[in-house]
Amino acid sequence: MQIDKYKVLVTGGASGMGKQFTLSLARDGASVAFCDVNADAIAAVEAEAAGLPGKVKGFVANVAKEDDVVALVKNAAAALGGLNGLINNAGILRDGMLVKLDKEGKVQKMSLAHWQAVIDVNLTGVFLCTREFAAHCIETQTRPATVVSISSISRHGNMGQTNYSAAKAGIVADTKLWAGELARYGIRTGAIAPGFTRTPILEAMRPEVLEAALKPVPLRRLGEPEEMYLAAKFIFENDYFTGRVVEVDGGLSL
């Protein structure tokens, strides 16, 4: 189905890759509802989207909170006149080693709070949003419909990212699982696994640190948010694609 036929909900849609997804979808004629926890950022994206072919409407919501997600899907569908697309993009980082010795020889441990915060947003949020989106599509007999979830190259296991790697690996597993469960309702699923991508987090890194990170990348550069959008667009428009992950990582292997 062509992208301009979609009514898409984008989570974490006011910054980074999520902002790219929101604006690129609207430029291509799709209607877009997006959420974020930052009301000012939402207003800025809505202003930037003014005049684009597709309608854009933002909502404040925390994808880790069940009540927020239930209300988000209901309100997004009402604003767009239905939903048939979802991009699970919202995510956070709380990087750290599982355990390590500090300079004084004391053992430091990743806190349960840092583990749980990342799992809550990056994995439970995907579960809640996909569950509510799928329920909406089934209840309204909306088909076809498509779910795109953002995983990461870190799903293979990246040192210093115990929590993040676990969440991103879980997304890929659930994408495959949900493809089987939801196909009978006309819902396809797909995941994107970006490598190092130009976002505010990476752009804030010291140049020498970023240069070292890019050395193992065959293409020797960051991925661009627009390149991640092209992968999402492929999943949305290819009706024979489901249950798989598209790797967009410049050839990097972890």
C-alpha–C-alpha distance, residues 120 and 250, integer Å:
29
Q: Which two tokens stand for residue 169?
A: 């690996």
Among 82, 80, 83, 43, CA closest to 59: 43
Which of 6, 164, 229, 240 does the annotation list as catalytic?
Answer: 164
Distance CA 61, CA 35 (A): 6
164 tagged catalytic: yes
Beta-carbon contacts of 123 under 8 Å, excluding residues fewer than 6 positions away, are 166, 167, 170, 171
Residue for token pair 């991640």: 228
Q: Which residues contact 75 (CB under 8 A, 6 or more apart)?
A: 33, 59
Preceding peptide of 216 cis, ω within 30°: no
Tokens, residue 182? 């939801």
Q: Write out the catalytic residue numbers.
A: 164
